[in-house]
Amino acid sequence: MNKKSKNQHPIPQAVLDEFKYLSDVYEGEVEFMGRYKGSDAYCYSFHGEAPEIGYPEIVLYNKGDISSLPEFEVFSAIRDLGY
């Protein structure tokens, strides 16, 4: 576990690595969103105006396993997690 998000939830290195393609280009940070379907959910929170890059990406992490939500499920997760 490496960095911590705003709410001090430790962010696993595998999750940081998954969002590296964004953090290398855009200013922002990985944010813990909460628990979703038994896994920790994370998103990349842009500082300032977010670029138009398509659907938001949500990464799920559970006991070393990492996966991205399919585009059609992202908005359900955002709603369920209160974002």
Give CA angle at 30 (18, 6), nearest 5°.
Answer: 155
Q: Which domain holds residue 48?
A: 13-80
Residue 55 is assigned to a structural domain of this protein: yes
Whole-number pLDDT of residue 1: 41
How far is 52 from 29, CA to CA, in rounded Å? 17
Residue 40 is assigned to a structural domain of this protein: yes
Residue 1 is assigned to a structural domain of this protein: no
Q: What distances in angstroms separate CA 18 from CA 7, 80, 82, one per listed residue?
A: 20, 23, 23
Looking at the structure of the chain, the number of domains it has is 1
Pairing of strands 28-36, 65-68: unpaired
Residue 4 is assigned to a structural domain of this protein: no
Residue 73 is assigned to a structural domain of this protein: yes
**6-44: pLDDT as tens digits:** 457 889 999 999 999 988 888 889 999 999 999 999 999
Residue 18 is assigned to a structural domain of this protein: yes
**34-56: pLDDT as tens digits:** 999 999 999 998 887 766 766 78
Residue 44 is assigned to a structural domain of this protein: yes
Asked whether residue 2 carries a pLDDT value surpassing 70, the answer given is no
**65-76: pLDDT as tens digits:** 999 999 889 999
